[in-house]
Structure 1
């Protein structure tokens, strides 16, 4: 079993979910109001404070329980099963996906775009603040 899927390693799970969401550590750090180094330390930690875990989960768009139960195998199995079941196997096929994966992808892209725009706005505000200070 790889360290990324070690059941008790919350930090690695957070890192993988963040990567799957297309977020950089800097973006997560900005949303948490911490440094990128702090996010790096969190992702290297086997345990994460429950309150911090709740905040991270909210930003990543998952539940804290979802992070705790995350596994690479489950993600791959889900997509493999989705592909296997995308062919109609007759009237008794009850394994249909209940959402359009492309809609989810577009949703994630839009969320990523909003986070990026917020990050850019924050950087602009910092620059304006520094200009006005001098």
Structure 2
């Protein structure tokens, strides 16, 4: 009986060790590939921020003890869009992601973006029709912004 129990423990330990080695190997391979991409494109960067409306529908960059923007310094609001500005112009933009959170999805609000070297323009739509960003006055709603490229 003890021999059988010992064998089960050995099997569990073997699975745990092999899983850990596999994860570490995969992470190392990912880092190697990322380093090759970074070297190829010279200097990649990531710009990140969360924007949110206050109770009056005025959008701002979330910056508190749990959330800090990276490379995004200001936000401007217009009747047809929101613009977020980077700390400096960038040479190339490789990809971007601008996504609404679950609060906006529950309100049937989608977002779309136009990315430029110095800013991102964000458009909001409800049920397929563009809306004024000030119409969203839900202080827990967030738009997540991430941009990757070359400085």
| TM-score normalized by the length of structure 1 | 0.21
Greater relative contact order (Cα < 8 A, sep 6+): 2
Q: TM-score, normalised by structure 2?
A: 0.19
Instruction: Tell me which structure has the larger Cα radius of gyration.
Output: 2
